[in-house]
Every structure is written in C-alpha cells, then in structure tokens.
C-alpha cells in the first residue's frame, strides 16, 4: 500500500461539533488519569457508553431496569486526537451513523468544553434484544424515532 492509502494521510478529518446532534456533560474523575497523566484509553469507552445510554434513557425512553428490550454492544472502536486529563471539563456527543430494525451504529465523540474539534471519536453498535432470550428484536418505535432524529444526513 502507498502512503496515500494508508497511515495518517488516509484518516478522516477530525470531527467537529456540527457533526453531532446530541451533547451531554461528562465529569472527569481523578482515577480517569493513568500513570502518564492523561485519561486512559479505556475510559473513553465508558464515556461513550454513558453518552449513548443518557440519550437512550432520557430521549428514547428506554427502560433499562424493567423494559423488555435492552441494547447489547457488539462492536466498538475509537480514534484519539488530543490528550485530555482530570480535571478537564468535557462534553460527550452522539449521532447515529446507521439505523437498522434491531441495531444502531452510533458515532460518539468527546470534546473539551468550549473546543470545536473532538479530542476522541468512536463508534459502537447496539443490537436490541429481548431481555429474557437475548435474541434480536425490533427496537421500540419511540426509541427508533428518537434515534432517527440523530441519523447522519437526516433533518432531525
């Protein structure tokens, strides 16, 4: 492969706030930092999960305790663009990259408060399943409608 097809030059541009439709504050914690003095890479995945679930609970009315349908993560990934550290004030961002019948791929990002470019961007896929059988099911209409408003390319 040539450098044009591989490496940093092939990366997509860093995401901006305008690329996302939903934001929620993230509170960093002392133990988020690792020995190198920045937020540890695995912590970003907990931020991503919190941002998506905040949306699902508050906007999609997903009942995480008693509902018949739950979301299970089946894939994820992250690109890191800038180091963050406690006590930075952060915002998590969410969009929907793909929306299926029983699954959704989220685009997620973490922004330092007041900055326009993402410090980290990722994606993960939820498959909605029956709580008891763990078999895929169609997502509830209210949830699907809420997610549809964040679909990339939709008018929301």
**pLDDT, tens only, 20-48:** 999 999 999 999 999 999 999 999 999 99
Predicted TM-score (pTM) of the model is 0.89
In a domain, 127, yes or no: yes
**pLDDT, tens only, 63-92:** 999 999 999 999 999 999 999 999 999 999
In a domain, 42, yes or no: yes
In a domain, 153, yes or no: no
**Domain span holding position 34:** 8-148
In a domain, 3, yes or no: no
In a domain, 155, yes or no: no
Cβ 93 vs Cβ 108: under 8 Å: yes
In a domain, 135, yes or no: yes
Take residue 120 and report the two structure tokens written for it.
């980290």
CATH number of the domain to which 128 belongs: 3.10.129.10
In a domain, 24, yes or no: yes
Count of domains for the chain: 1
Task: Count how many Cα atoms sit within 13 Å of the Cα of residue 40 in the half-sphere of its side chain.
Answer: 10
């Amino acid at each position: 492969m040539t450098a044009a097809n591989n490496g940093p030059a092939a990366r997509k541009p860093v995401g901006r706030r305008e690329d996302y439709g939903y934001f929620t504050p993230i509170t960093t914690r002392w133990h988020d930092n690792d020995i190198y003095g920045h937020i540890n890479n695995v912590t970003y995945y907990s931020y991503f999960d919190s941002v998506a679930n905040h949306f699902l609970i508050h906007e999609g009315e997903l009942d995480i305790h008693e509902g018949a349908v739950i979301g299970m993560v089946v894939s994820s990934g992250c690109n890191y663009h800038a180091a963050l550290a406690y006590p930075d004030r952060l915002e998590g961002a969410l969009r929907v990259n793909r929306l299926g019948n029983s699954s959704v791929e989220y685009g997620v990002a973490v922004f330092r408060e007041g900055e326009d470019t993402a410090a980290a961007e990722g994606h993960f896929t939820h498959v909605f399943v029956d709580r008891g059988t763990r078999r895929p099911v169609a997502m509830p209409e209210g949830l699907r409608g809420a997610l549809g408003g964040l679909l990339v390319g939709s008018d929301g």
